[in-house]
Amino acid sequence: MKKTITIPENLYDVTIDQYQRVQAIPEGDELRQVVETIAILCDITTEEVMAMEKKDIDHIGGVIGGIIDKYDEEYPVERIIELDQRYGFHPNLSRITLAEFADIETLCKDSFDKHLPQVMGILYRPIEEEHKDFYRIAEYDGEDRSEYFKDMKMAHALGAAAFFLRIGTALADALDSFSKAVKDPSYPRNTDGSPRLSISQGRTLLNYRRLKGRTSRRPSPGSPTNKTEPPPKATSEHMRTVNQILDELEGIALDHRFIRSFKQGEFSEVDIKKLAGDKYPICHADISSATIDRGTMTYQLDILVMDMILPGQTDAQEQYSDTLRTLNDIVSQYAQVLSAQSDVDRDVTIELPLDCEPFTARFDNLLTGWVGTVMLVTSNDLDLCAAAFA
């Protein structure tokens, strides 16, 4: 009796389990390798393979050999896969936890191919909530889901693995730097004394940049200054208040054709959930510190310009370009304070150069953009006559 068999055409037709079983076939006996490979990938018995005509075995063996040789080809990341349930790929590897990274690193050091189902079970997790193109995955709990991920398509696994491994070195470097940085007492910490691990609010990223000396700061007395022209002398009698600084920045941001909303203060997931899609792109600002000096008051602001990523519809590279250009436009308002086109009060000047960094933050949606730490200088007379004393 004739039997119809299905020959895989590519690695989208091969599961991780099948691939691992093929890799486990002992070398040396070429006939045995061919027979067992065909049996595994075509889901038939070795007896059925041995009953085939030689020309059929040669044909199937050639097709399958071509598939296996495509292991090194590039495959796109499949964001959502169906196994025993729906799983979503980790939406933002820049926020991967130490536990996730450590487990993946341990598995890869032993044998990446051997532990591929376990690795995929870490990179993909059950989807807890889903709305159109957006989804939220379960928190990492260390559960071994390898039995389910043995049925994952090999092409999907290779796409996910390649994407992760491309940034693996950067993550390892970041973790090494992090482990050294947290030993420093000045590293940003939570109220319980533990180091801040998340960069979703942009704050830890900014503080770590400050720790490494990568943000713009006012030069201390006697230190070399920037080679730009000195800022115009302050003419106002009193310093600009926090509210005045933020109100002025809000007016500049909302006057920009690219920005649709402005937020200030602590940046939280609760705030983001309240924003509808038509509120993006966003400019967010928070005054993180102030320096009182003779004649001046210097405000340090964290300014973020960000937009929402729509999977399959949004070009992330284009968003990086647009948001940086917008941040540059905002900075230009302060840098060109003497220009008639500037909306900034002439009493406010900005310190240049300005360091900016790209970021991607995962909330219920995925935001991407640029963040810059801005130093704004205004006059401060330290006038006791104007002070609020009785």
pLDDT reported for residue 84: 93
248: three-class secondary structure by DSSP: helix
Nearest to 275 by CA among 257, 260, 292, 295: 260
**What percent of the chain is predicted at pLDDT more than 90?**
23
CA distance 335 to 352: 8
pLDDT reported for residue 329: 92
Angstrom distances, CA of residue 117 to CA of 61, 71, 72, 125? 26, 16, 18, 12
- Whether 336 contacts 262, CB under 8 Å: no
Quote the DSSP letter at residue 71.
G
The domain locations on the chain are 11-72, 80-181, 216-221+228-386
Sign, CA dihedral 378-379-382-384, equals: negative
Pick 196 or 7 by higher pLDDT. 7
Mean pLDDT comparison of 91-95, 203-207, 252-256, 272-276, highest-scoring range: 252-256
119: three-class secondary structure by DSSP: helix
Residues 6+ apart with CB under 8 A from 268: 201
Quote the DSSP letter at residue 35.
H
For 64-88, b/e burial (b = at least 16 CB within 10 A) is beebbeeeeeebeebbebebeeebb
Write out the two tokens for 182: 């947290």
Nearest to 123 by CA among 166, 72, 173, 71: 166
* Amino acid making up residue 231: P
Statement: residue 221 has pLDDT above 90: no
pLDDT reported for residue 271: 57
pTM of the model: 0.46
Four-point Cα dihedral 304, 282, 188, 374, nearest 10: 30
Instruction: Read off the pLDDT of each residue in 100-127 and give the average, rounded to a whole number.
Output: 87
CA distance 125 to 144: 11
**What percent of the chain is predicted at pLDDT more than 70?**
68
CA distance 237 to 347: 10
Angstrom distances, CA of residue 338 to CA of 131, 163, 190? 48, 47, 42
pLDDT reported for residue 15: 94
325: confidence class by pLDDT, cuts 50, 70, 90: very high
Angstrom distances, CA of residue 122 to CA of 29, 111, 130? 36, 16, 19
Q: What is the mean pLDDT of the chain?
A: 76
Angstrom distances, CA of residue 299 to CA of 116, 252, 376? 50, 17, 5
Each residue's pLDDT tens digit, 33-67: 888 989 999 999 999 889 888 888 888 888 887 77
CA distance 7 to 42: 6
Instruction: Read off the pLDDT of each residue in 220-231 and give the average, rounded to a whole number.
Output: 39
Statement: residue 239 has pLDDT above 80: no
pLDDT reported for residue 245: 92
Instruction: Read off the pLDDT of each residue in 298-321 and give the average, rounded to a whole number.
Output: 78
Sign, CA dihedral 23-24-30-32, equals: negative
CATH architecture of 216-221+228-386: 2-Layer Sandwich (3.30)
